[in-house]
Amino acid sequence: MNTVRPVCLIVGAGPGIGQAVAVAFAREGCDVALLSRQAEKLEVLRPAIEKAGARVRCYSADAGDESALRGRLAEVCRDLGDPEVLIYNAAALTTGKPTALDSTTLAKDFQVNVTGALVCVQALAPALRARGRGTVLLTGGGFAYEPAANYASLSLGKAALRNLTYSLAQELGASGIHVATVTVYGFVQPGTHFDPARIAEAYVHLHRQPPGRFQTELVYK
């Protein structure tokens, strides 16, 4: 008899944290849905994830395009079932100081850095509530605590994402849904303390926490 595996959806998947988290949750017994702007680039990630035992499906959508994002989320649910785990790892990495940042760019970046996360949670929350459990993990950053002038837009976004995490945790925690942020306090670099595989362990650690012991933020530094 086949056992139905939970689904882990990773929005903003790529060769760094996204792939490492996908492999980690495949080892936790999840099937994996990967979503990024260019689905064809996700195919190179597939072998390592499948080797860890998961079915893998790849989808394309811009996390800053609400209509396209909602459409792809609905497709994931039809193809694999409602995700039990959501990892929001999308980020717009525009560089530039505050006085050089135009409002259009800031608004566009905010759509990816923050609004896309909320859109994903809004789309998946009804099924998570009905199930009475689930994990929502948002990739934060040290810029939420120590803004950098050269990354003004991303600094604003990470601060807002951390705020969003806490408010979502307050709202959804009562329904058994664990909402948390992994605040990566440094630049991701393979072979160092900030190796993606090591960072992925923080996501799994949060996922394993039982109700009543939910941690809203894990600072990885």
Read off the CATH number of the domain in which 112 is found.
3.40.50.720
Asked whether residue 1 is domain-assigned, the answer is no
Q: Structure tokens of 21?
A: 């988290």
Segment 18-29 shows an average pLDDT of 97
Of residues 77 and 4, more confidently modeled: 77
Inter-residue contact 84 to 134 (CB < 8 Å): yes
74 beta partners: none
* Distance separating alpha carbons of residues 211 and 209, to the nearest angstrom: 7
Q: In which band, very low, low, confident or very high, does the pLDDT at 1 lie, cut at 50, 70 and 90? A: very low
Q: Structural domain of residue 11, as residue ranges?
A: 7-220
93: Cβ contacts below 8 Å, ≥ 6 apart: 151, 154
In a domain, 143, yes or no: yes
Residue 40: what pLDDT?
80
Residue in 117, 129, 186, 194 with CA at minimum distance from that of residue 157? 117
pLDDT for 88 equals 98
118-128 pLDDT, tens per residue? 999 999 999 99
Looking at residue 3, what is its pLDDT? 66
When pLDDT is averaged across residues 18-39 and rounded to a whole number, the result is 95
pLDDT of amino acid 38: 86
Give the position of tokens 């709202």: 171
Contacts of 28 (CB under 8 A, 6+ apart): 8, 204, 207
Residue 188 placed within a domain: yes
Flag whether 2 is in a domain: no
Beta carbons within 8 Å of 111's beta carbon, 6+ residues apart: 63, 64, 65, 66
Residue 205 is assigned to a structural domain of this protein: yes
- Token pair recorded at residue 214: 């939910």
**Is the residue at 183 inside a domain?**
yes
Q: How many domains does the chain have?
A: 1
* Mean predicted confidence (pLDDT) in 143-149: 97
pLDDT at 95 (0 to 100)? 95
CB 71 within 8 A of CB 93: no
Instruction: Tell whether 91 is covered by a domain.
Output: yes
> In this model, does residue 132 exceed pLDDT 60?
yes
Q: What is the mean pLDDT of the chain?
A: 95
Q: What contacts 198, CB < 8 A, 6 or more positions away?
A: none
Residue written as token pair 């996204």: 18
Q: Which two structure tokens, joined as six digits, stand for 4? A: 């139905």
Q: Would 102 be classed as within a structural domain?
A: yes
Measured CA to CA, the distance from residue 202 to residue 125 in angstroms comes to: 23
Pairing label, strands 31-36, 56-60: parallel
